[in-house]
Amino acid sequence: MISLKAKVGGIEFRNPFLLASGILDETYYSMKRVWDNEAGAIVTKSISINPSEGYLGPNIYVGRGYVLNAMGLPNPGINFFEIELEKLKKDKIQIIGSIFGSTVEDFVYLAKKMAKYCDAVELNLSCPHVKGVGSEIGSDPDMVYEIVKGIKKEVNIPVWAKLTPNIDNIVKLGMAAQEGGADAVVAINTVRAMHIDIKMKKPTLFNKIGGLSGPAIKPVGIASVYLLKKNLNIPVVGVGGIETIEDVLEYIMAGASAVQIGSAIVNKGVGIFHLLSEELYIYLKENGYDEISSLIGIAQD
Amino acid sequence: MYYITKVEKVIKEGEGLTTIRFRSPFAAYPGQFVMLWLPGVDSIPMSLSYLGDLKGVTSKSIGDATRKIEGLKVGDIIGIDGPLGNHFKIRGKKILVVAGGSGIASVITLIEYAKSLGKEVHVIFGAKTKREVIFEERIKNNSDGCIITTDDGSYGKKGTTIEALPEILGKGFDEIITCGPEVMMKKLFEISLQNNILFQASIERVMKCGHGICDSCSFGGFLVCKDGPIFTEMDLINNEEFGKSRLDRSGKRVFLK
């Protein structure tokens, strides 16, 4: 009996293909649409305490084999977002609440709110283009430790720490998250990057610096997941440049218990979740596996 | 991918209403839009008000980006990402086009296209005042009848497009196509349902990425940038947000008046 189910810590998903944070996940309607298209779970847009409009445009540049974005973490703030979360909960949609802040207290406050509706919280410790939050605090292992520990002390909800690759050694961040009590780490967030329009003779993004995603960053993601899996005892969720079932299997063999899909939606649409589920089923069947668990980290050592 | 091009013409169409014309390498259909990059200011969605070789967009000055468009000069450099979104698909033989305010910019090419296909085309165009009545010649040259209304009565009939509707609804239209304030479009939709008339509307929302990922232009389960901006009666009939709510720049839902 073949099962597509995936487990991250104590949470079970109907398949390992979760929607990555930041993509089609600001409204109940769009998150429901992705769920109805068979995503394993939905990771929400990163939510802060107060509303934020994000940056002016261009916010995005779609290049050859990559996507570059600097949205600037726009979100309606947790109070307004609760309206969307309530509807999702009513529909029994499995949600991971992504949150960001600049202090331990911000994160604890947001995690408490999210705990009412979500299976877990994902800490955005890794957005590479907004001042005072994201990777600016998430590059400091002590801060990662304090934030995770602060939440675990006060809230009874699984905590996933989403890590930045914009650092010499991502394992240091993973160790800090694990010591703080994190239930899983998520790797990677976008890679700090820029595109210059040579005719305009200017950076394309309004914010100049943005985050790189899509196939271009997959090898960075694979190395990060591999190293994290090797050095940690908690599960790793893989994200970065996944478009095909081969990409998915590569992440699983590196050590990912589940994966997240984001930028691939630009070219493949939300149908990608269903497609990958079918392809994973065929792979497992043809290769004599009942589930992905025996493949997780198989490329280690 | 932005195509970098120059402003070839700037036309003051009316009060605060400016058209810029530019060359671009793509073909586009009526109802499609582009993201217009104004370096250092913003990148905003604009419906194409001219197709063909020298394309154009027509903007109403309401914010920083649109005021920048008003101030553009011939030779200024702009970036164009497009054409984006779907387009009008003419299904009827006898078509009523209803435009409100700068919404005329989205449907003017549709009016010309429908006429070129030999359809019977009637237009109701409502503006606040005479100074905002634009494209009058283009409308009149490409329609079988045109009613212009102004809120203050300074030109055409005094009143709104909806108030002008009863006098021509009896002509037996089989399709209504509209762009304008959403509350107006919602009323028109109700009228089209009561009268069994096909319906298409061009919808506007805050749009940031233009490529179907950021969710800023969420519209009751659709994305205006990818699934729209043109929606038919099938898309609208159970849409909880049509005529009711939209997102602000932060993603907070606000209700339409």
For chain A, give every domain's residue range. Answer: 6-49+73-189+213-294
Q: Looking at chain B from residue 31 to 50, which residues have their Cβ under 8 Å from any Cβ of chain A?
A: 35, 37, 39-44
β-bridge pairing B218-219 and A236-239 = unpaired
pLDDT tens by residue, B143-200: 999 999 999 999 999 999 999 999 999 999 999 999 999 999 999 999 999 999 999 9
Q: pLDDT grade, residue B257 (50/70/90)?
A: confident
Residue that has been written with the tokens 């037996």 in this structure: B172
B246: closest chain A residue by CA: A27
Interchain CB contacts (distance < 8 Å): A and B: 128
Q: What is the DSSP string of B10-44?
A: EEEEETTEEEEEEE-S----TT-EEEEEETTTEEE
% of chain B with per-residue pLDDT over 70: 100
Query: By C-alpha distance, which of A283, A229, A231 is closest to A256?
Result: A229
Point out which residues pair with A11 in neighbouring strands: A8
Query: By C-alpha distance, which of A196, A210, A125 is closest to A159?
Result: A125
Binary contact (A83, B211; C-beta < 8 A): no
Torsion of CA A168, A172, A176, A177, to 10 degrees: 80
Provide the token pair at A246.
């081969």
The CA R_g of chain A, rounded to the nearest whole Å, is 18
pLDDT tens by residue, B48-99: 999 999 999 999 999 999 999 999 999 999 999 999 999 999 999 999 999 9
Pick among 3.40.50.720, 3.40.50.300, 3.10.20.30, 3.20.20.70: CATH of A6-49+73-189+213-294: 3.20.20.70
The CA R_g of chain B, rounded to the nearest whole Å, is 17
Q: What is the pLDDT of residue B43?
A: 97
Binary contact (B251, A26; C-beta < 8 A): yes
Torsion of CA B155, B156, B159, B161, to 10 degrees: -120
Q: What is the DSSP string of B138-160?
A: HHHHT-SEEEEEETTSSSSEES-
Q: What is the pLDDT of residue B196?
A: 96
Q: What is the pLDDT of residue B177?
A: 98
Cβ-contact A195, A61 below 8 angstroms:
yes
Task: Indicate the SS3 state at residue A124.
Answer: strand
Cis peptide before A188 (omega within 30 of 0): yes
Residues of A recognised as catalytic: 127
Query: By C-alpha distance, which of A117, A137, A132 is closest to A41?
Result: A117
pLDDT tens by residue, B85-105: 999 999 999 999 999 999 999
Binary contact (A59, B1; C-beta < 8 A): no
The span from the CA of B34 to the CA of B58, in Å, is 12
Binary contact (B214, A27; C-beta < 8 A): no
- With a CB cutoff of 8 Å and minimum separation 6, the contacts of A282 are none
pLDDT tens by residue, A138-163: 999 999 999 999 999 999 999 999 99
Q: What is the pLDDT of residue A204?
A: 98
Cβ-contact B22, B56 below 8 angstroms:
yes
Q: How far is CA B190 from CA B186, B198, B202, in A?
A: 6, 11, 16
Q: Which residues of A touch B247 (CB under 8 A)?
A: 26-27, 76
Query: By C-alpha distance, which of B107, B117, B122 is closest to B51?
Result: B107
**Interface contact B70, partner A, CB < 8 A:** no
Q: Which residues of A touch B86 (CB under 8 A)?
A: none
Cβ-contact B198, B220 below 8 angstroms:
no
The span from the CA of A241 to the CA of A220, in Å, is 9
- Per-residue confidence in pLDDT tens, chain A, 301 aa: 999 999 999 999 999 999 999 999 999 999 999 999 999 999 999 999 999 999 999 999 999 999 999 999 999 999 999 999 999 999 999 999 999 999 999 999 999 999 999 999 999 999 999 999 999 999 999 999 999 999 999 999 999 999 999 999 999 999 999 999 999 999 999 999 999 999 999 999 999 999 999 999 999 999 999 999 999 999 999 999 999 999 999 999 999 999 999 999 998 999 999 999 999 999 999 999 999 999 999 999 7
Query: By C-alpha distance, which of B60, B72, B141, B61 is closest to B103?
Result: B60
- Asked whether the predicted pLDDT for residue B132 surpasses 80, the reply is yes
Backbone dihedral region of B101: left (phi > 0), alpha (psi from -120 to 50 degrees) or beta? left
